[in-house]
């Protein structure tokens, strides 16, 4: 786990219940500065519940969440659905900037600067979500989250609806934001392949609990649970898939 003296978020013995069903059962972890933490598990494992609890969309039934005076923003799985279809990108980002000005007093960025951070040109400012690709919408979603200058970004399966090549670009973006802005990221995913090359640490979740946790390379090299080993067997080699795709295009 991250050194607590340098932790932005500390979660201890977290429980989240929906009636008689306990979606999260006694989970503990910490998030360090400029770190990407992956939380991985199949649908229904409780990982998205943790994400929503971290940003206040769900309330814990037990346990504690301590944040070191840091701002937390969320990037949702459905990037297109999370954007207002009646607002252009420029209007959506301008609204996010206006809302941010009432916050912590940190340096606020213009819509142009926000787009630049996520690798998009000003040409998209006049576009509506329906006019952009899924990857572009996800980048806009990240840009909107950055308007508040957060220290922590919670990304709830941000690439699950994207094809492999676009996934890689969005994941590389998160890594660049970590390196360039010192951003810390909680990356929620159902596929270990997604977190393999981007996360510093990984927590593997099954039925509301962590069954594996540690440095990414350790979890991949020596998983401690049968569940993790099963997920690893299902991991496609993303780099090989991209290479094969390039070969097919070259031969076409």
The number of C-alpha atoms within 13 Å of 180 and in the hemisphere containing its C-beta is: 11
Regarding whether 161 and 225 lie in a shared domain, the answer is yes
In-domain check, residue 200: yes
- What percent of the chain has pLDDT above 70? 88
Model confidence at 240, pLDDT cuts 50, 70, 90, reads: low
User: What totals of helices (H) and strands (E) does the chain contain, helices first?
Assistant: 10, 9
Answer for the pair 4, 153: CB distance below 8 angstroms, yes or no: no
The reported pTM is 0.88
Over 90: is that where the pLDDT of 102 sits? no
**pLDDT per residue over 110-144, tens digit each?**
999 999 999 999 999 999 999 999 999 999 999 99
Rounded-to-integer distance, Cα 58 and Cα 55, Å: 8
- Quick one: which of 38, 48, 31 has its CA closest to 212? 38
Answer for the pair 212, 219: CB distance below 8 angstroms, yes or no: yes
Q: What is the pLDDT of residue 27?
A: 97
Q: What is the pLDDT of residue 249?
A: 63
SS3 label, residue 97:
helix
Rounded-to-integer distance, Cα 195 and Cα 175, Å: 11
Regarding whether 160 and 131 lie in a shared domain, the answer is no
Q: Can you give the residue range of the structural domain that contains 198?
A: 1-70+152-167+181-252
In-domain check, residue 108: yes
In-domain check, residue 173: no
Q: How many distinct structural domains can be found in the chain?
A: 2
Torsion (CA) 50, 138, 177, 245 in degrees, nearest 10: 110
Regarding whether 224 and 210 lie in a shared domain, the answer is yes
Over 70: is that where the pLDDT of 173 sits? yes
């Amino acid at each position: 786990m991250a050194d607590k003296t340098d932790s932005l978020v500390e979660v201890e013995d977290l429980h989240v219940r929906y009636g008689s069903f306990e979606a999260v059962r006694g989970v503990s972890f910490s998030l360090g500065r400029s770190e990407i933490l992956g939380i991985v598990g199949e649908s229904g494992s409780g990982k998205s519940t943790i994400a929503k609890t971290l940003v206040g969309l769900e309330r814990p039934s037990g346990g504690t969440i301590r944040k070191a005076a840091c701002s937390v923003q969320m990037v949702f799985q459905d990037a297109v659905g999370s954007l207002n279809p009646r607002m252009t990108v420029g209007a959506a980002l301008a609204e996010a900037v206006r809302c941010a000005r009432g916050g912590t007093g940190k340096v606020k960025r213009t819509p142009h600067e926000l787009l630049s951070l996520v690798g998009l040109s000003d040409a998209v400012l006049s576009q509506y979500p329906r006019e952009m690709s899924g990857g572009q919408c996800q980048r806009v979603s990240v840009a909107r989250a950055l308007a508040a200058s957060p220290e922590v970004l919670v990304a709830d399966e941000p690439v699950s609806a994207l094809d492999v090549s676009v996934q890689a670009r969005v994941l590389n973006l998160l890594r660049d934001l970590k390196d360039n802005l010192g951003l810390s990221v909680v990356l929620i995913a159902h596929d270990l392949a997604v977190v393999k090359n981007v996360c510093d640490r990984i927590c593997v979740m099954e039925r509301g609990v962590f069954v594996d946790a540690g440095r990414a390379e350790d979890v991949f090299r020596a998983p401690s649970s049968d569940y993790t080993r099963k997920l690893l067997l299902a991991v496609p080699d993303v780099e090989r898939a991209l290479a094969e795709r390039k070969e097919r295009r070259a031969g076409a």
